[in-house]
Amino acid sequence: MSDERGAGPVPSRLMRLAVVGAACLAVASGGLFYYATVSRQSGNAAAVIKVEVGAKACTPNALTLPAGRHVFEIHNTSDRPVEWEILDGIMVLEERENIVPGLRQTLAANLKPGQYQITCGLLSNPRGRLTVTANAASDAAAAAGPDLRAFIGPLSEYKVFLAMQGANLVAATEKLADALKAGDLEGARALYEPSRLPYRQVEAVAMRWADLQTAIDPVADYLEHREKDDHFTGYHRLEYGLFAANETASLVSVADKLVADANELKARMRSMKLAPDDLSGGAARLARRLADGKIESGENAYAHSDLADLNASLTGIAKMAGLVRPLIPDGSSDLAQELDARLKAARLSLDALKSGDGYVAYDKVDVAGRRTIAETFRALADTLDKVSNRLSLG
């Protein structure tokens, strides 16, 4: 059930050789598929953990919790939209975006023992601390986990997909940079949307590196000085220059930095170690992140090309879902059919807004239309969570 539109044609023989080669590398690397997870306990009825995000800090900004599943309620007490993330070094474990002033959003996370950081609103704000302590359940979960052998093939094929999209991303951003260097405003505008599509197809993985995420795809609303902020870089800085400021000269250095960051992302994806939950779990996290934030608020504030972005993200999600679908036991055929239906519904919600070879501008999609798309992505995330649970991944 994999939907790989936009990934580019690959000869079947070459794909088989690539998958076999990647599988051999996976086996040879020994610890490639090290995986530990904290099981969801049906009896876990811990209270919701409330965190206030103010203009400069979180309250509390230091938390200590036992390993396991926790639900956080994030209250934005500032006057700006904020995001709240749990970070493991530069890796994003969980996040909630676009929490508007005065409102609350919840986030559920399965946490393993360790020391983590939490972001507190604007990217320039100091980070808080989260300490997760071990317990009997986390020790047992680390010792158990799923049968890794069944995931060797799917994870190896996904590594090939990441490598292909990484190469496409570098080529597309270089082409955009060349148009900017030539001072070709209309040409650069035409290249902006397609340059983002490889990035969005691997977004489930790309969003895990906080440093690259804030370099490649920061939104002005999360920066202290918005469009005037020195940290306003990457795609949306180019978008602002092309579609709002209508100029190219100041964008050349921004584009060169984006090309460098794209190359770094490509290299990290080639060398990263994947775990079984990076497929269904990663797809679920991305679908929910989009449903709870970007879909209703919009992201491309100047080009209004959000629907093309969402289509590319869904292609990446469908790729991951398609790789785990054959692993769903025969006795759970109803779950496999539900997954098919959820993917189809999400695709149809986007197809309904097509205009010619593309999509309508996102500022023409009303609140009800955006909510409909968000609901299909949220339902897809729920089903992907069921798949993870059925495969003993969560």
Q: Which residues pair with 72 in a beta bridge?
A: 49, 107
10 Å Cβ neighbour count for 51? 20
**What tens digit of pLDDT does each residue of 292-305 get?**
988 999 999 999 99
Average pLDDT for the chain: 86
Find all residues with CB under 8 Å of 13, minimum gap 6, and list them.
none
Phi and psi of 184, rounded to 5°?
A: -90, 90
> CA 286 → CA 58, 174, 373, distances in Å?
24, 26, 14
pLDDT at residue 20 greater than cutoff 50: no
pLDDT at residue 19 greater than cutoff 60: no
pLDDT at residue 97 greater than cutoff 90: no
pLDDT for position 24:
45
Question: What does the alpha-carbon distance between residue 116 and residue 56 come to, in Å, rounded to a whole number?
Answer: 19
Mean pLDDT across the stretch 130-148? 73
First to last CA, the chain: 22
**What tens digit of pLDDT does each residue of 237-263 get?**
999 999 999 999 999 999 999 999 999
Give the confidence band of 46 by pLDDT, cuts at 50, 70, 90. low
CA angle 358, 324, 331 (to 5 degrees): 125
Find all residues with CB under 8 Å of 346, minimum gap 6, and list them.
287, 314, 317, 373, 376, 377, 379, 380
- Axis-axis angle for helices 280-289, 367-390 (nearest 10): 160
* Lowest-pLDDT range of 30-39, 189-198, 241-250: 30-39
**What tens digit of pLDDT does each residue of 300-324 get?**
999 999 999 999 999 999 999 999 9
Give the confidence band of 17 by pLDDT, cuts at 50, 70, 90. very low
* Lowest-pLDDT range of 34-48, 168-182, 344-358: 34-48
pLDDT at residue 81 greater than cutoff 70: yes
CA angle 236, 2, 200 (to 5 degrees): 5
Question: How many helices (H) and strands (E) would you count in the chain?
Answer: 13, 11
